[in-house]
Structure 1
Amino acid sequence: MSDDLSLEERKVIYRARRGLKEIDVYFDPYVRQYYLKADAVEKALFAELVEQEDPDLLDWFMEVSQPPKPALKDLINKLKHYVHASDRVQ
């Protein structure tokens, strides 16, 4: 990561490190490959997503329940697509 990251970007990147494999499998590739290139709206959505509790995130990623905002569901689907699309390439 670069030294020219904003304080907010640094906070989000730090908060994205969960230590829970089921979530990190989605957050880590997104942070490394896409987060810093994302537009302001997507960065704000990701910041909102990483503020959620792990049990809620697990339920949303495993489609046991739905996030409270459709935009969060769309972002979760995007993160899942990034991971699963790269699985097919390898």
Structure 2
Amino acid sequence: MSLSNNKARLRWACRRGMLELDVLFLPFVDNSFDDLSDEQKLTFERLLECDDPDLFAWFMGHQICKDAALNDMVKHILMCARKA
């Protein structure tokens, strides 16, 4: 079942073990998720399945995600965070 159909479950999945990720994901879901295409929503859900250390490295710029779609989503989330 896709999380994008249930905002409460999606928000729960955004709660991570690292505050740095929480402050990126939760506002993104609240403010920008609904504007994504269906394909982008699925990519975001796939991103949430990644391990926290990988997510942290990607979002802090220590590494680049080799999956192009996930890397584009990381960039999109960071761009939205800068606008907020």
TM-score by length of 1: 0.78
Aligned partners of 1:41, 1:7: CA distance in 2, in Å? 12
**Superimposed CA distance per residue, residues 37-70 of structure 1 (whole angstroms, 9 cap, x where no aligned partner):** 3211110110010000100000001111121211
Q: CA RMSD in A?
A: 1.7
- Say whether the 8 Å CA contact 1:67–1:73 is kept in structure 2: yes
Deviates more, 1:66-75 or 1:51-60: 66-75
Question: 1:19 deviation in Å?
Answer: 4.2
Structure 1 match to 2:3 = 8
What does 1:1-90 align with in structure 2 at a 5 Å threshold? Answer: 8-9=3-4, 10=6, 11-86=9-84
Question: 1:31 deviation in Å?
Answer: 0.4
Aligned partners of 1:59, 1:34: CA distance in 2, in Å? 22
Identity of aligned residues (%): 28
- Say whether the 8 Å CA contact 1:12–1:50 is kept in structure 2: no
TM-score by length of 2: 0.83
Rg larger in 1 or in 2? 1
Aligned partners of 1:23, 1:45: CA distance in 2, in Å? 17
Aligned residues: 81
Q: Structure 2 regions of 5+ residues with no counterpart? A: none
